[in-house]
């Protein structure tokens, strides 16, 4: 199924089918067509169209273009004092001067703040005074695989006469540092926002590919969990994190968490009583479900810091306290 938007005209092409009993039961759980896995009728499609058109009115006011030197990308304002979320490769190093272009063509001065090389997340701050239109951010964990979403941005650069471009899609996959959709993205979209149908930012466009299903976004969680670090102007890099705490485990991602595949001898994990085949489910009370997340959480600590790890060992739930070590030379 594909949606195409040309100003206010919608054209829909799809294959109609009779839903199975299982699907009908699942869809019945939600009275909102845009929360169903698949629209069931023409009325559902019209409701989705109306909902998107209504949500777009406010969402697009917060979408901006980000210009720096000879490069350009997109971004979204998320606070009335002018905090702008964008991609890390668009904002670059902290302290750079960039220009923010509003939908009406106004050019504002901004400075880049912190971000993460791992999730490709970045942040800027508008320096001009004003109460700027902004989009709300979704709460952590709100977006799920299969959810409807729409992407906004300035592919090919800012063109005032054309305005921003809208694409609709679904969330195909989601992990800690990456979110994947089938929204079609192009060069210049990098840093633009991905919205849910409530008009909340759920991700920022990151890696753009030729195939629809290989476009990646930095999930909003990667910003929320490092908000103070980014605002302080710190860029999270793999090199810096390798200087931090060391747990000493090799893992693989599973449905329940991170399964321990191997342990470094005499490591913090081994000394703390962690065993091979244990599954890490949380650290310091926060769920852990990706290797990137484990890397960031542990690397953000210092050698000697204590962390509380929730484990699943077979059918048992365990909690262990581990003092992080130093990465071997």
Under the banding of pLDDT at 50, 70 and 90, the label for residue 24 is very low
Q: What is the DSSP letter of 43?
A: H
* pTM, full prediction: 0.72
- Domain 238-326, CATH among 3.30.1330.60, 3.30.70.1400, 2.30.42.10, 3.30.70.1290: 2.30.42.10
Q: Considering only 5-9, 155-159, 249-253, 273-277, which range has the smallest mean pLDDT?
A: 5-9
Burial class of residue 61 in the structure, from the number of CB atoms within 10 Å of its CB (0-12 exposed, 13-18 middle, 19+ buried):
middle
- Both tokens of residue 283? 């650290």
Q: How far apart are CA 264 and CA 162, in angstroms?
A: 56
Q: What is the DSSP letter of 120?
A: T
- Domains of the chain: which residue ranges? 58-236, 238-326
Interval 220-232: pLDDT, tens: 988 998 898 899 9
Q: Which fold has domain 58-236?
A: Thrombin, subunit H (2.40.10)
Q: Looking at the DSSP assignment, which residues form a beta bridge with residue 318?
A: 311
| Count of all residues that appear for the chain in the document | 329
Under the banding of pLDDT at 50, 70 and 90, the label for residue 210 is low
Same-fold call for 58-236 versus 238-326: no
Taking CA atoms, 254 is separated from 29, 277, 281, 312, 322, in Å, by 28, 11, 10, 12, 22
Interval 232-274: pLDDT, tens: 998 887 777 788 899 999 998 787 889 999 999 999 999 999 9
What is the separation of C-alpha 138 from the centre of its chain, rounded to a whole number of angstroms? 10
């Amino acid at each position: 199924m594909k949606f195409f938007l040309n100003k206010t005209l919608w054209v829909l092409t799809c294959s109609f089918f009779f839903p199975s009993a299982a699907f009908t039961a699942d869809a019945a759980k939600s009275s909102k067509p845009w929360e169903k896995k698949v629209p069931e009728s023409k009325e559902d499609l019209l409701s989705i169209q109306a909902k998107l058109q209504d949500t777009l009115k406010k969402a697009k006011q917060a979408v901006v273009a980000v210009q720096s030197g000879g490069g350009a990308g997109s971004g979204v304002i998320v606070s009335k004092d002018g905090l702008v979320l964008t991609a890390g490769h668009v904002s670059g190093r902290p302290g750079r001067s960039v220009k923010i272009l509003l939908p009406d063509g106004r050019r504002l001065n901004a400075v880049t703040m912190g971000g993460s090389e791992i999730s490709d997340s970045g942040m800027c701050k508008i320096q001009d005074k004003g109460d700027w239109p902004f989009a709300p951010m979704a709460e952590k964990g709100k977006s799920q695989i299969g959810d409807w979403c729409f992407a906004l941005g300035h592919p090919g650069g800012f063109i005032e006469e054309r305005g921003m471009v809208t694409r609709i899609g679904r969330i195909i996959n989601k992990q800690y540092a990456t979110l994947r959709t089938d929204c079609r993205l192009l060069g210049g979209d990098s840093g633009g926002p991905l919205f849910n149908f409530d008009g909340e930012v759920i991700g920022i466009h990151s890696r753009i590919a030729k195939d629809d299903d290989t476009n990646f976004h930095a999930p909003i969680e990667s910003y929320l969990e490092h908000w103070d670090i980014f605002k302080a102007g710190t860029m999270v890099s793999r090199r810096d994190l390798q200087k931090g705490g060391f747990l000493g485990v090799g893992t693989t991602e599973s449905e329940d968490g991170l399964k321990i595949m191997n342990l470094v001898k005499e490591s913090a994990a081994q000394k703390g009583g962690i065993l091979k085949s244990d599954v890490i489910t949380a650290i310091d009370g926060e769920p852990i479900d990706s290797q990137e997340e484990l890397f960031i959480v542990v690397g953000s600590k210092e050698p000697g810091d204590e962390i509380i790890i929730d484990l699943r060992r077979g059918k048992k739930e365990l909690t262990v306290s581990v003092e992080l070590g130093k990465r071997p030379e």
